Amino acid sequence: MKLIKLGIIGCGIAAQSLHWPVLQKLKDEFEITAICNHTEKKAKDFSKILGGVPYVLDYHHLLQRPDVEAVDIVLPIQLNYKVTKDALEAGKHVIVEKPLAANLSEAKMMLDFEDKYSLVMMVAENYRYRSIFHRVKNYLDQGKIGEPYAVFWNGFTLNTLKNNKYARTKWRINHQYKGGFVTDAGIHYIAALRDMFGEINYGIAFTKRVNPNIGEMDSMSFQFRTDKNIYGVLNAFYSSKGYEQDCILISGSEGSILIENDKLTLKNEKGIELEEAVEESEGYKEEFEDFYRGIRLG
C-alpha cells in the first residue's frame, strides 16, 4: 500500500515528543510533507528536526497543499473543533489529539462529522492501544475472574511546573476548555475504562483545585456505573504530594485482577493464578498504524 502524505498542524511538545518518534518508525506508511505552527521559530526548529520539511504559519495554507492527504492536529484543545472541521472541508483525513473538543457541545458536533464527510476522522487516544488493557479485556472475556462487578482505579501523581513539561504550557495553565488537567489527562482513564467495561451511563464526580499553578481543576473522585452493570470509582489526583500510585483493582464473582504500573496479577480463591509483567507499549505507534489502515483499507 502506498504512503500517506501527512501534514502536521502544531509543532509543540506532543508533536515532537510523542508523534514524531513513532512516525519515524512508520516510514513505509507515512511521509511528512508539510508542517504548520503559528510561531515561526517553533515551526522552523521542528522543520530542521524533520530534515527540512516545508513549513507554513497559517494552517489554511497547509490545507491547500495538494501534497497533503491527511493531517495530524496537535493543538491546544480549544482549537480542535474549528481546525478539524476546516481540514475535513478541505478534503483531508484527520487524526486529532485527545480530548476531542473543549466542551460537550463541540464534541457532539464533531461526532456528527461522520455523517457529513466521507473521510477518516480519528481521535489520538493512545490508551485504547496499550497492551496491558487489551490483556485485561481478554481475561475478562475469557471469564478468568467470573463476572466482573466492580473496578477501582487510583491515579495519584504529582505534576508541577518544575517536573512536568506539559504542565508548563501556557494554554494548559490558562485553559479555555472545561476541566483543566482532569480533562486533558483524565480522558486517558475514561477511554481505558470504556474499552474494558462498557459505556458509562451514570456518574457523579467531586473535583478540587489543589495547585492553582496548573489550572482550574487538578483532582477528581468519580463514582460511576457502566451499561454492563459494573460500578467503579476513579480517583484522578494530579497534585498528590508524598504518595504516588497507578493501581487498578477489578473485582469479579470468582477472582480479582490487580494492575500496578505494568505488573498484572490475577487471583482467585485458590491463590495467585498468574502474575506477569506486561511488555508495555504506550500505544502511539499502534494508533497511527490504525489511522493508516482506516484510510487505506477503510
Percent of the chain with pLDDT over 70: 100
CA distance 61 to 201: 42
List, for residues 201-252, the tens digit of each pLDDT value.
999 999 999 998 888 899 999 999 999 999 999 999 999 988 889 999 999 9
3-state secondary structure of 235: strand
C-alpha cell at 217: 481543576
**H helix count then E strand count, the chain:** 11, 14
Residue 168 has a pLDDT of: 84
Q: Average pLDDT over the chain, rounded to whole?
A: 94
CA distance 102 to 288: 23
Which residue do the cell numbers 467531586 mark? 206
Q: Which H or E element spans position 179?
A: none
Whether 15 has a pLDDT exceeding 80, the answer reads yes
CA distance 259 to 136: 9
pLDDT band at 159 (very low <50, low <70, confident <90, very high): confident
pLDDT band at 84 (very low <50, low <70, confident <90, very high): very high
* Topology at the third CATH level for domain 4-127+284-297: Rossmann fold (3.40.50)
- The residues spanned by each domain of the chain are 4-127+284-297, 131-277
CB neighbours of residue 72 within 10 Å = 25
Equal fold, 4-127+284-297 vs 131-277: no
* Topology at the third CATH level for domain 131-277: Dihydrodipicolinate Reductase; domain 2 (3.30.360)
Distances 73 to 78, 79, 80, 176 between C-alpha atoms, Å: 12, 9, 7, 17
Q: Do residues 262 and 132 lie in contact, with contact meaning Cβ atoms separated by under 8 Å? A: yes
List, for residues 141-156, the tens digit of each pLDDT value.
999 999 999 999 999 9
pLDDT band at 138 (very low <50, low <70, confident <90, very high): very high
C-alpha cell at 253: 464473582
Mean of pLDDT values over 165-174: 83
